[in-house]
Amino acid sequence: MKLEGRIALVTGGSRGIGRSIAEALAREGADVAVNYRSGKEQADEVVQAIEGMGRKAVAIQGDVAEFDDATRMVEEAVNGLGGLHVLVNNAGIARDTLNFNMDPGDWLDVMRVNFGGTFNCTKAAAGQMMKERDGVIVNISSVMGEKAWVGASNYAASKAAVNSLTRASALEFARFGIRVNAVLPGFAPTDMVAGLVEKDGGKSISKQLPLKVLGTVEEVAECAVFLAGPGSKYMTGSLLTVDGGAFAQLALGKPL
């Protein structure tokens, strides 16, 4: 197993992509701290699934948008599992609407969680990793951070900020033996993109993709595990797209 002896913290790990990443890390041998903000029951289910694989796991409540919470989460992961080698910044929210209709609070909330949460947890984990001169940070971003989609400007801007933070952090932490990369999913069926695919099951989007299918949370998780493991040891500051070819195109047609 590629991650035997490694300890990971996955933010937003109780459902969707985060849950898939937490379980995929465990299958590769990692012990996992599963962060959640409000879904304790779901987080406990993930912990039980990981323990069923013979790995250690703990559920840790915390709001990534609050730096004090992020610091406590890291401390609880270290104390509960014995260290921290991998941080997956996955927690995120969406408040999709057109700019003209957007409440300023919706813009600020998305930035505080998606970008602020990534910054907070990165800063909180950095001390432990710098001390050990060993660590990997994987940020779950989005292809929207490099392109655009009508009605999602706040989300796209938050992910563009995550992409820039990924590159800058990679430069700053390289001398401490810490690698920082990001996974940029396209359209995968999660709660956050439900509104885009609920009308026709995503067919109107998938037919525009070169691979003609939506992605899965498992496929995103596999890429996150790759970046967390030894197979990517010469990668840092990289943005890895997982989007069925969407990013390679000039456009995806009109928004739905």
Query: Catalytic amino acids?
Result: 155
Encoded tokens for 156: 């796209």
Alpha helices in the chain, H assignment, sequence order: 16-27, 40-51, 67-81, 104-110, 117-132, 153-173, 194-197, 203-206, 217-228
- Cα dihedral 53/56/61/62 (nearest 10): -110
The residue length of the chain stands at 256
Encoded tokens for 133: 């001169």
Contacts of 219 (CB under 8 A, 6+ apart): 188, 242
Phi–psi pair at 10, nearest 5 degrees:
-115, 115
CB 201 within 8 A of CB 160: no
CB 135 within 8 A of CB 103: no
Q: 32: how many CB neighbours lie within 10 A of its CB?
A: 32
Contacts of 146 (CB under 8 A, 6+ apart): 160, 163, 184, 239, 247
